[in-house]
Amino acid sequence: MAILVTGSTGYLGSYIVSELLQNYHQNVLLLIRSQDQKTAKIKLWKALQLHMDSSKFQQLFNTNIKIFLGDLTDQKFGLGTDEYQFLTKEVQSILHVAASLNRKSEKACLNVNLRGTLEVARLARNILKDHELKRFSHVSTVAVAGVRQNKVILEDEAIDWNISDYDPYARTKKFCEHLLRELLPDIPLTIFRPSIVLGDSRQEKTTQFDMVQAFAFLASLTMLPLRPEDRLDIVNVDFVSQAVTHIHQKKNPRFDTYNLSSGIKSQTCRQITDALSTFQNRHRPFYFPSLIKPVKTMVHLLAKKRNSSLGQLARLLEVFLPYLLWNTVFDNSRIVQETGMSPSRFTDYCYPLYKFATQNNFQYPYQELPTSLEEESHDGSSPTTLG
């Protein structure tokens, strides 16, 4: 039997799958959007090359990975009867990581996050007709807490239906949690809520650049329209993926919901910009909180400029500015106490990340999968025969 993972070709999903494969030697069934197996394999390699070389990838592909070509927004993921049946028989637990993070698209968030999560919940119910499902883990977000200011939020305080949401992403992720709790009362359910997942504390490389780009832009300014003492709850992806995989496989986790965040140890804007200025041997920026309002208006106007790089940057900032201004952090005592792990300080690894991102023009220098491996498929020992 094996763990079904959605979102394995994404940033966090690739870390979670790599962790399951390399540190826990698990067998994984991956739902990947793709036309055919070969393209899906190449797509997976693109995501996993942050974590392994191509020969290791091929070895794990042969022994521990099975790909299902599916889309969350299709009924039964668009799988054939046999494949869907296979999942209902062979899935021992589910790690639902996939989502649309398109904060500006109500349509994408509604389809992928709500309809998609409903489809995964349906699969869970079908599995239950066949055998026990050990765990359903859902990767949510701290953004479910909605519009807050100057708060430290505990897990049980986050969902408040009277509080407005920042965007369609936050709104749909909030309802996903509700949907899963309502539909899966008889399945062990764990909700993980990461804060801003940014960078790996162990290496400078990243495949996710949106937030890094917004940071790099802000780091290049000499005057910042921010409050210097506001805290930013940034968390390293290696901590998040290790926490998710650890709790997911635990028999009886102590809680059903975990913030995966830096919590009260989150650093302030000033601490982060000071660290970047020191590394770059530059003057510290000046802070002008009085500029917040005019800058927000300007960003909003510039974001309307389609097809220009300034417009693109403004759209990025428009999405991320609320998270830089809410001065709200998410208590992480639960996960820290239960796992004994703590997130790294952003200032300890932000400069290598910044350097990697800017030197590579915010693009990952992808290595192609050697052609000899492209065609090579499973050698017959599928995950189910191993598990």
Ligand X SMILES: NC(=O)c1ccc[n+]([C@@H]2O[C@H](COP(=O)([O-])OP(=O)(O)OC[C@H]3O[C@@H](n4cnc5c(N)ncnc54)[C@H](OP(=O)(O)O)[C@@H]3O)[C@@H](O)[C@H]2O)c1
* Interaction residues for ligand X, span 89-148 (CB under 6 A): 97-101, 112, 116, 139, 141
Contact pick of 2, 4, 12, 29 for ligand X (by CB under 6 A):
12
Backbone dihedral angles phi then psi of residue 234, each to the nearest 5 degrees: -110, 140
Question: Which of these ranges, 5-13, 20-28, 251-259, 323-331, lies near ligand X under the rule CB under 6 A?
Answer: 5-13
List the structure tokens of 343: 């997130």
Contact pick of 59, 62, 73, 126 for ligand X (by CB under 6 A):
73
Report which residue's Cβ sits closest to ligand X: 10
Does residue 54 bind ligand X (CB under 6 A)?
no
Least distance from ligand X to the Cβ atom of residue 15, Å: 8
Does residue 194 bind ligand X (CB under 6 A)?
yes
Give me the count of residues in the chain: 387
Least distance from ligand X to the Cβ atom of residue 380, Å: 27
Contact pick of 197, 244, 317, 324 for ligand X (by CB under 6 A):
197
Does residue 196 bind ligand X (CB under 6 A)?
yes
Backbone dihedral angles phi then psi of residue 351, each to the nearest 5 degrees: -70, -50
Question: Which of these ranges, 7-15, 59-67, 327-335, 349-357, lies near ligand X under the rule CB under 6 A?
Answer: 7-15
Of 200, 161, 197, 154, nearest in space to 177 by CA: 161
Contact pick of 33, 41, 66, 231 for ligand X (by CB under 6 A):
33
Radius of gyration (Cα) for the chain, nearest Å? 21
Question: Which of these ranges, 3-11, 61-69, 337-345, 356-364, lies near ligand X under the rule CB under 6 A?
Answer: 3-11
Q: Which residues are within 8 A (CB) of 62 and not within 5 positions of it... i.e. 6 or more apart?
A: 376, 378, 379, 381
How far apart, in whole angstroms, are the C-alpha atoms of residue 93 and residue 87? 10
Q: Which residues are within 8 A (CB) of 116 and not within 5 positions of it... i.e. 6 or more apart?
A: 6, 72, 73, 98, 99
Of 8, 56, 35, 24, nearest in space to 367 by CA: 56
How far apart, in whole angstroms, are the C-alpha atoms of residue 54 and residue 63? 14
Question: With contact defined as beta carbons under 8 Å apart, do 210 and 104 qualify?
Answer: no
Least distance from ligand X to the Cβ atom of residue 374, Å: 18
Eight-state DSSP code of residue 109: I
Nearer to ligand X, 207 or 277 (CB): 207
Does residue 257 bind ligand X (CB under 6 A)?
no
Does residue 11 bind ligand X (CB under 6 A)?
yes
Contact residues toward ligand X (CB under 6 A) are 6-7, 9-13, 31, 33, 71-73, 97-101, 112, 116, 139, 141, 173, 194, 196-197, 208
